[in-house]
Structure 1
Amino acid sequence: MLAIFVRFVYNGYNLFILKKSVAAVYARSAVEFEMDIPIISIIIPTYRCAERLQLLMDCLTAQTFGFEKLEVLFADDCSPDDTGRVIDSLSARFSNVSALHLPANSGFAGAPRNAAIHAAHAPYLMFLDADDLLPPNACQTLYDGLLKTDADLVTGYCRYVDENGGVLQEISPAYAELHPRITHLPEELSDELLMRDSFWCRLYKSNIVSENGLFFPTGVPGEDIFFLYSYLLCCRSAAYLAQHVYDYYSCNASVTHNRSSGYYIGLGDCYRKIQTLFEKAGQPALFSLVADHILEFHLCGMMDSACMTEADIATALPAWGWLFQYETAQGTLDDSPLADALAPLVSAECWDTAAHTLRLCAPLRTALERSRAETEQWKKHAFAFQKTVTDMRNSRSWRITHLFSKG
């Protein structure tokens, strides 16, 4: 009996040692894996941004996640300045930095991002524009969120800053009321589509991109939104962390702040591709959420653009004719006064008259916006006054005074 007990203890001890050894090997293998293969690929399209690249590298080397766990892929869109030379020098200096060079300028970020995706090795992808920056905890926050939720897509929010780094908006109003959540897809895809202005502040899975052949449309603006929707249509779940993970810099030199007729023609075509994307996925009805107020927003952009004459607007409007027809069929133009006013002219293809009418609406729109702002301010005053009256009536002194006044 004693011999059996001794053998039992001996075998148990050997099993303990074996488990401990296996755990040690596993832990060491995990560390070696992380050292040999990057965990997150950071994709950065570049064009004429040589002076900005050191700031980008500083924000990446400062990541609490560990710079050595990142793969940084610069993809230059045939810059005429020193951008190509600078990213080559960074690639030579850092083993986890790659410099890709497109043979000809494509005009937008789609082609550079596609080239970088094909060259990426990490299991996860993040996108960073050359005129933006990541806060130090961005990668760690998103990666921890992914491990915790096991979601196919993890999202934080952008903080909007000026060219000097001053905070213009801590969080977009669309996100201010959102709490951390997990969205199950495709059942709750409609909820996720409302978060359409945050392509950058997300962590994507490389295998979902590769297995579904996802890509950015090339040569057109809006390619980031097309990619985001393509990805969402392939996901099982998405998590929102309600944490700041991206600094979006408002740069007056960027293409989105100097919009031309070519920009709006390309953007109209891209949204048409997005509509087709939802149709092919068997979700045509959900495009109405994507299209919500998009037409009105971009008509205002054409009206306000310093780069566009009436003739330029007349050239751009035909690219949006299909969306006028879509909104009319959906019965949603009532909430879009500019689009509603232009719809008959667009339907008759009176492009010059429609462009002239749009320009004439500029002072009226300014007056309406001022009126709306004043109305909102008065609503706030009225709410504050009502609250003061309610608090006063609920106070003990009011009840006592009111009792005596009745007597």
Structure 2
Amino acid sequence: MADTPPEVSVIIGAYEAMPYLVKCLDSVASQTLGPDCIEIIAVDDGSTDGTGRYLDEFAARTKVPMRVVHQANSGGAGGPRNTGLAMARGRYVFFLDADDHLGAEALDRMVAMADAAGTDVVLGKVVGVNRNAAKSMWGKTVERADIYTSNIKFTLSAQKLFRRELLVRHGMRFDETLRTGEDALFTMEAYLRADARGSGVSVVADYPCYYLVGRDDGKHLTKSGGYELRFDSARALMRLIAEHEPPGVRRDQLMIRPFTVTLLPQFGPVVLRQTEDDLRRKMELAAPLMAAYWTPGLARALKVEERLRLTCAALGRAELLREVLAFGKDGGVPRVVRRRGRRCLAYPGFGDRRAGVPYSAYEVTLTEQIDGRRVEPRAPLTRRAAGRLRRALRGLSSG
């Protein structure tokens, strides 16, 4: 192997990946960045479907330098990624799932962006194939994305370009004790460390870099496991954010992600199909997280129905939570009510002292669509006063 390190080490953790692995590997070999600039490190994580054999065959014929590791099944994606990361030599690393594939210019464009902007993490546009993919963060290509106010915090999968020096400097590895969400923890840490040292994060949105493939057999690790694993993931991510950000607006902006993406679905329609014991257990798991990290600022960043569900979970109001969910399932439309100068949505429990839920849980703090019409938060007094002044001035000028 040449002494000159490659530009990119493509790390592929593979478990029972046939036949998807064929297109995955072909997409790396056909990158416009060129085989001399890439190395492939493929880790067969105890497959029994011919995945390991195909990796060996491909390595024997490809022009891209490739190393294959065969190991016993680790039980998650973090293990093979860590194995590959320890072997990587490239200036950058890219974690590619064996089910998925790259656009032909993906690595070329992402490396060019990282070099031009000096950033440590580059997000390449993700397109879903036979499954949905997040869309909100691909509005435009940006050299420096704000990790707090932009939507990049909602894409924490590992399929990104990382500057290897950043990972080595901080000894970053995937947490193998997590069975889900280990990629979110790793990626969020990379975002935070890149932001802290001023290098930042870039977004390549004008080219489909990554094709996220939905398997016909439905075997996706992120869909497996019970709800306790989701709380483990949420707990780890919240703790990481708190370690890097002191209490305040910026922490709240990042905490939106674990609260809405990981915690909130645990108190969604699935509750109506679960046992009382399961719901009580989930509330027990949620309570310390809500006590430690839930703030008024974070609460106001959510829509009423979302905020109300999490408030019910935090307060242990199981019956009210079921009522709120049943109300939505049955197509219920909450009335818009003015209460103490605030606009509120009268979901179940509103105004009922026995429910023990504060009015603030029902307050409209974001623009909402209710029965086809927009419901805006109450305008602050200063804006209302300014409006009166403008109208008065128009009246004087026309008089």
The residue type paired with residue 235 of structure 2 is D
Aligned equivalent of 1:223, options 164, 173, 182: 182
| TM-score under structure 1 length normalisation | 0.68
Q: Does 1:234 align with 2:193?
A: yes
- TM-superposition CA deviations, 1:273-301 (whole Å, max 9, x none): 3234424xx68753311221643444553
Q: CA deviation at 1:358?
A: 4.6
2:274 is aligned to 309
1:290 is aligned to 254
Aligned equivalent of 1:117, options 85, 89, 99: 85
Change (3 A) 1:250 1:50: closer
Q: Does 1:375 align with 2:375?
A: no
Contact 1:78 1:102 in 2 (8 A): yes
User: Secondary structure at the residue paired with 2:372?
Assistant: helix
Q: CA deviation at 1:140?
A: 0.9
Identity %: 19
1:321 is aligned to 287
2:169 is aligned to 211
The whole-number CA distance in structure 2 between the counterparts of 1:179 and 1:344 is 37
User: Secondary structure at the residue paired with 1:126?
Assistant: strand
Q: CA deviation at 1:174?
A: 3.6
Which deviates the most, 40-49 or 230-239? 230-239
Q: Does 1:196 align with 2:161?
A: no
* Structure (1/2) with the larger strand percentage: 2
The whole-number CA distance in structure 2 between the counterparts of 1:75 and 1:144 is 27
Rg bigger for which structure? 1
Contact 1:278 1:284 in 2 (8 A): no
User: Secondary structure at the residue paired with 2:32?
Assistant: coil
- TM-superposition CA deviations, 1:52-86 (whole Å, max 9, x none): 21111121122111234211122233334333333
Change (3 A) 1:92 1:309: farther
Q: Does 1:75 align with 2:43?
A: yes
2:59 is aligned to 91
Q: CA deviation at 1:87?
A: 2.6
1:43 is aligned to 11
Contact 1:77 1:101 in 2 (8 A): yes
CA RMSD of aligned residues (A): 3.7
Contact 1:230 1:277 in 2 (8 A): no
Runs of 4+ in 1 over 6 A off after TM superposition: 368-371
1:180 is aligned to 142
The whole-number CA distance in structure 2 between the counterparts of 1:336 and 1:223 is 28
The residue type paired with residue 289 of structure 2 is L
Aligned equivalent of 1:131, options 99, 115, 122: 99
The residue type paired with residue 267 of structure 1 is S
* Structure (1/2) with the larger helix percentage: 1
Aligned equivalent of 1:278, options 213, 225, 244: 244
Change (3 A) 1:242 1:159: same
Q: CA deviation at 1:127?
A: 1.4
| TM-score under structure 2 length normalisation | 0.69
Q: Does 1:248 align with 2:212?
A: yes
Change (3 A) 1:66 1:376: farther
The whole-number CA distance in structure 2 between the counterparts of 1:77 and 1:339 is 39
The whole-number CA distance in structure 2 between the counterparts of 1:285 and 1:55 is 44
Change (3 A) 1:359 1:70: farther
Which deviates the most, 237-246 or 130-139? 237-246
Change (3 A) 1:60 1:194: closer
The residue type paired with residue 216 of structure 1 is F
Aligned equivalent of 2:72, options 82, 87, 103: 103
The whole-number CA distance in structure 1 between the counterparts of 2:48 and 2:304 is 43
Change (3 A) 1:307 1:376: closer
Which ranges of structure 1 fall in alignment gaps of 5 or more residues? 1-31, 379-407
Contact 2:43 2:70 in 1 (8 A): yes
Q: CA deviation at 1:259?
A: 5.5
Contact 2:154 2:257 in 1 (8 A): no
Contact 1:50 1:81 in 2 (8 A): yes
The residue type paired with residue 181 of structure 1 is E
The residue type paired with residue 92 of structure 2 is Y
The residue type paired with residue 247 of structure 1 is Y
The whole-number CA distance in structure 1 between the counterparts of 2:46 and 2:247 is 38
Q: CA deviation at 1:364?
A: 2.9
2:390 is aligned to none
The whole-number CA distance in structure 1 between the counterparts of 2:272 and 2:322 is 13
Contact 1:73 1:97 in 2 (8 A): yes
Q: CA deviation at 1:222?
A: 1.7
> Aligned residue pairs: how many?
330
